[in-house]
């Protein structure tokens, strides 16, 4: 309970990588609204400064410092931790939210792009984790949160091999870190893995695209704010793995129970619905090598909020229809007391031999035995 109060109290010290855009930016704003003191890191210096100003204005006690840094630089992540210590004296929560995407067939994506995506998504997270754990083990407590993905962490999809492999690696790395913390006796240092499903961020706008096909539509997506709330709750009450978004909890179970069916469905949806026709998009490297700059934003303009509201309205309407039908069915079959057709039936145990309501019951004799009696 004490840890929960510290994590949610104003003045909580939080370090966030990938804070200029998408989930990282939403997480920074969510903590700022609680009065947290933030150290924000990303490559886009101008966008990061804007986020720091927004966070500072979000709450009277909120503070934010922008530290332009590339997560692939281990020394930069060590410096990020040192900045938090020098400014605030500790690190309560560290969120590794930096990530880049690569779309394309595995034999068509240039090896350099695959390597770069793994450097950011895997090594970048590992560098941040190492810097965070050094501080947290020294102070005896802290919460490390790594943002993975249902895609890779639980299921797979075509054209996302490099990205999914990186996100799957985070699940393994986090599990190993938990085991090592137990062995070393650091029981008050928690390592948590957040696995969102589809999220309405600029991810596909920033992803390297070697498919030559435009991302046409997406499955049901969650808002970045929903993921940020999950990160807040995880910081307050650390859990090993946290699934966020529509279908995020269902997909892993469905994949275990019917892996072939789930893979086939994802394969068909990706090929025929989520991607446009060949030649509808240029080949790009996205933000693999360059910062997002002016395109940095929380949302990807996929109207996730409206989709969520529509899904909830549909669910409520369906629940209402089912309830109305159930009530109507019950009212048709119910025989009300006092109606002409009402018949009161006493329990069998209360009907004794010789009573006015007693009716002798002839025992059932099988036809075979009856014929023998004859």
Catalytic positions are 163
CA pair distance 39, 18, nearest whole angstrom: 11
> Residues near 3 by Cβ (< 8 Å), separated by ≥ 6?
141, 188, 236, 238
Listed in sequence order, the residues at least 6 apart from 61 whose beta carbon sits closer than 8 Å to its beta carbon are 10, 11, 35
| Cα separation, 217 vs 232, whole angstroms | 29
Residues 198, 351: Cα–Cα separation, whole Å: 65
368 burial (CB, 10 Å; 0-12 / 13-18 / 19+) is exposed
**135: Cβ–Cβ under 8 A, 6 or more apart, which residues?**
81, 84, 85, 90, 91, 142
Other residues' Cβ atoms within 10 Å of the Cβ of residue 343:
6
- Helix segments in the chain, DSSP class H: 2-8, 22-32, 45-57, 74-88, 111-118, 124-139, 150-153, 161-184, 203-206, 224-236, 250-257, 259-269, 304-333, 367-373
321-335: string of b/e by CB count within 10 Å (b at 16+)? eeeeeeeeeeeeeee
Pairing label, strands 37-42, 102-103: unpaired
Give the separation between CA 295 and CA 189, rounded to whole angstroms.
36
Return the closest-CA partner of residue 28 out of 16, 44, 11.
16
């Amino acid at each position: 309970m004490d840890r929960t109060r510290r994590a949610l109290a104003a003045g909580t010290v939080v370090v966030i990588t990938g804070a200029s855009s998408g989930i990282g930016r939403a997480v920074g704003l969510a903590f700022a609204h609680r009065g947290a003191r933030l150290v924000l890191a990303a490559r886009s210096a101008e966008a990061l400064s804007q986020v720091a100003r927004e966070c500072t204005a979000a709450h009277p006690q909120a503070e934010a410092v922008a530290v332009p840094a590339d997560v692939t630089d281990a020394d930069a992540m060590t410096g990020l931790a040192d900045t938090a210590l020098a400014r605030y004296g500790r690190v309560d929560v560290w969120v590794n939210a930096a990530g880049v995407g690569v779309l394309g067939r595995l034999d068509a994506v240039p090896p350099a792009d695959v390597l770069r995506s793994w450097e950011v998504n895997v090594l970048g997270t590992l560098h941040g984790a190492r810097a965070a754990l050094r501080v947290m083990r020294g102070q005896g407590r802290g919460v490390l949160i790594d943002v993975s993905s249902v895609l890779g962490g639980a299921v797979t999809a075509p054209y996302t091999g490099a990205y999914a492999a990186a996100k799957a690696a985070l699940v393994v790395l986090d599990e190993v870190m938990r085991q090592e913390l137990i062995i070393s006796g650091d029981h008050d240092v928690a390592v948590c893995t957040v696995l969102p499903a589809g999220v309405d961020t600029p991810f596909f706008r920033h992803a390297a695209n070697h498919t030559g096909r435009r991302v046409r539509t997406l499955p049901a997506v969650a808002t970045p704010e929903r993921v940020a709330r999950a990160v807040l709750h995880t910081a307050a009450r650390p859990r090993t793995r946290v699934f966020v978004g529509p279908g995020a909890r269902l997909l892993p179970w469905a994949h275990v129970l019917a892996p072939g069916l789930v893979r086939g469905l994802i394969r068909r949806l990706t090929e025929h619905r989520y991607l446009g026709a060949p030649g509808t998009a240029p080949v790009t490297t996205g933000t693999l090598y360059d910062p997002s700059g002016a395109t940095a934003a929380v949302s990807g303009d996929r109207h996730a909020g409206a989709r969520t509201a529509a899904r909830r309205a549909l669910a409520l309407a369906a629940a209402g229809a089912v309830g109305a039908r159930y009530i109507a069915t019950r009212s048709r079959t119910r025989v009300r007391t006092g109606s002409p057709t009402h018949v009161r039936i006493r329990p069998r145990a209360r009907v004794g031999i010789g009573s006015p309501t007693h009716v002798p019951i002839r025992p059932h004799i099988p036809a075979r035995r009856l014929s023998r009696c004859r």
